[in-house]
Structure 1
Amino acid sequence: MQVGIFAKTFPGTDALSVLSAVRDSGYATTQFNLACCGLPSMPDTVPEPVVATIRVASETAGVSLAALSGTYNMAHPDISIRQKGLSQLAVIIKTAAALSIPLVTLCTGTRHPSDQWAHHPENRDPTAWADMAAEMSKALALAEDHGVDLGIEPEQANIVTSAADAKRLIAEMGSERLRIVLDPANLFESAAPSEARAIVERAVETAAGHIAMAHAKDRYADGRFATAGQGIVDFPDFIARLKAVGFHGPLVTHGLSAAEAPHVAAFLKELV
């Protein structure tokens, strides 16, 4: 397993300075975001000089690009907003292919009209799943054309809330390009440590064979997010279970400050 971090953890809009900070904090790989080179996270276009700059920055810093963020609300109630997001995702996928980034990370969305990470009571309506699945099918066609995988992350506020939901969607789509990003802290809200461990254990077993990336974020027992190693997620158990099911991909932390990054790198490296 390679230990990585969200590039957006570090301030700046110069790719080399951001990726150098990633390296200097103890990480070998990163989940990149185009905001780290001065563009919107979901741009309408990425000029070729920007692609070249990112490529050179990665090589110079010695930090590999494990994934590129491509999140938009795939279940937004306004179809025109979904269409705009898909158009921007096409740009992200093309950019990932140009940079040989193997994975583009997605958001399966919510019926919430203004926050793609916020729960909405209509998320469980079958039409929400249907709209998201239709969007995913179009996204997968783009991914197939460019040889890039797409990663869906179970999130309590989104349409896909569990590893079981993710496997259902993979089966419906029938594409090996659709993969799972597994973040233990997004599999539950408030829980006792033993409950959290059991939930994460079941998720790893369910997602086995489909995991492209693991995330390392934590939660306190009351539901607040925490820096990895500070909450109730049993990271030694989580990582051991990932290894047991044959996962050897990137383990990418986020939800921490730049100042905390070196300590978390050391914590995770000791476990992997």
Structure 2
Amino acid sequence: MEKGIFSKVFVKYPLEEAFIKIREFGFSTVQFNFANVGLPSLPQKVSNEILEQIQETCEKTGISISVISGTYNTLELNNETRKKNIEGFKNVVESAKKLNVPYVSISTGSFNQEDFWSPHPENHTKKAWNYLFESLDEMLDIASRNGVTIVIEPEQANVISTIEDVKKLMNHYQSPYLKVLFDAANIITTDDIGQLENKINRSLKELSEYIAVAHCKDCLVSKGKITFAPIGKGSLPLNQYLKELKKYYDGPVIMHGLDEEDIAFALKSTHF
């Protein structure tokens, strides 16, 4: 597996300096965010000059881009905002094609309009699924026309939160352009206390045919609460997760949910 990190962890640096630092930590690939070149994550325009800068920086530093973040709330209720988001997503996908990046990551949305990483009581209703289908129909059309694959991440606060949700979505579309971004920290719930490893192993086995990208993130699991923590400082059996992941997957594993000062400890704590 290839060791990677979110480029946004180094967003305070100019792009080339950021990628040099990433390489010095021993990473060889990134999940890229357009914030690293001073643009919104869903840019309304990406110039050829920016794309050339990104390509040249990759070539100069030896850092590849495995996936580009194209995340927004797919359950957005404001029509004007929704149109703007789709246009930004289209720009990310077209940029991925030009940069020869195979994947764009997305969220599956929340009816919480203030923060789509937060839950809402209607997120697991038929209404939510219909909104998601409406968004994904359009997004998959854009992705397939550009030969880019969308990767969705099961996330407790979003519509797709369980193994069963993923299978339902994949069966609905049966598209080669829709895959899974697997993150062990996002598949567990507070009900899994005492059986974290079993839940992760079962999830990997059942979703293995769909996994295209993987994350490495940590969290603290306590009764009734999950809070994210820097890698190696949480409750997850991350080395067991990585060992199990290797049985099914040999692609990029992207570290995130940490700051630059946490990286050295994270690397010491995990064995790829």
Is this a same-fold pair by TM over 0.5? yes
Determine the C-alpha separation between the residues in 1 that align with 2:267 and 2:38.
Answer: 26
In structure 1, what is the Cα distance between the partners aligned to 2:77 and 2:212? 29
Q: What corresponds to 1:227 in structure 2?
A: 230
CA separation in 1, counterparts of 2:138 and 2:227? 35
Worse-matched range after superposition: 138-147 or 229-238? 229-238
User: What's the CA shift string for 1:199-228, capped at 9, x where partnerless?
Assistant: 211210111111011111111123111122
Q: How many matched pairs?
A: 269
* Contact kept in structure 1, 2:185 and 2:236, CA below 8 Å: yes
Provide, for residues 217-249 of structure 1, a one-character-per-residue CA deviation record: whole Å limited to 9, x for no partner. Answer: 11112311112222121112211221222x001
Q: What's the CA shift string for 1:147-174, capped at 9, x where partnerless?
A: 1111000000000002321221111112
Deviations 1:101-152 (A, max 9, x none): 1110001100011111111111112011111112112111111111111100
Amino acid at match of 1:36: N
Contact 2:11–2:35 under 8 Å retained in 1: no
Tell me the residue number matched to 2:265: 263
Report matched runs for 1:184-203 at 5 Å: 184-190=184-190, 194-203=194-203
Cα RMSD over matched residues? 1.5
- Contact 2:231 2:262 (C-alpha < 8 Å) held by counterparts: no
- Alignment partner, residue 249 of structure 1: 251
Structure 1 stretches of 4+ with a deviation exceeding 6 A read none
1:194 CA displacement: 3.0
| Distance in structure 2 (CA, Å) of the matches to 1:233 and 1:123 | 26
Match of 2:209 in 1: 209
Structure 1 residue corresponding to 2:241, chosen from 238, 243, 257: 238
Matched residues in 2 for 1:83 and 1:188: separation?
33
Counterpart position of 1:65: 65
Q: Which amino acid aligns with 1:71?
A: T
Distance 1:13 1:82 in 2: 31
TM-score by length of 2: 0.94
Please report how far the alpha carbon of residue 19 of structure 1 lies from its aligned counterpart in structure 2 after TM superposition. Answer: 1.1
Of stretches 97-106 and 168-177 in structure 1, the one that deviates more from structure 2 is 168-177
Q: Say which SS state the counterpart of residue 208 (structure 1) adopts.
A: helix
Give how far 1:45 is off: 0.7
d(CA) in 2 for partners of 1:164, 1:185: 17
- CA drift of 1:193 comes to 5.2
Contact 2:232 2:265 in 1 (8 A): no
AA aligned opposite 1:9: V
When the two structures are superposed, what TM-score results if normalisation uses the length of structure 1?
Answer: 0.94
In structure 2, what is the equivalent of residue 108 of structure 1? Answer: 108
- 2:148, 2:269 → 1: CA distance? 31
Q: Secondary structure at the match of 1:100?
A: coil
User: What is the identity percentage for the equivalent residue pairs of Structure 1 and Structure 2?
Assistant: 30
Uncovered stretches (5+) of structure 2, i.e. residues with no partner: none
Equivalent residue runs for 1:1-272 within 5 Å: 1-12=1-12, 14-190=14-190, 194-222=194-222, 223-245=226-248, 247-268=249-270, 271-272=271-272
Contact 1:13 1:37 in 2 (8 A): no
SS at match of 1:121: coil
Query: For residues 79 and 251 of structure 2, what CA distance do their matches in structure 1 show?
Result: 35
SS in 2 for 1:122: coil
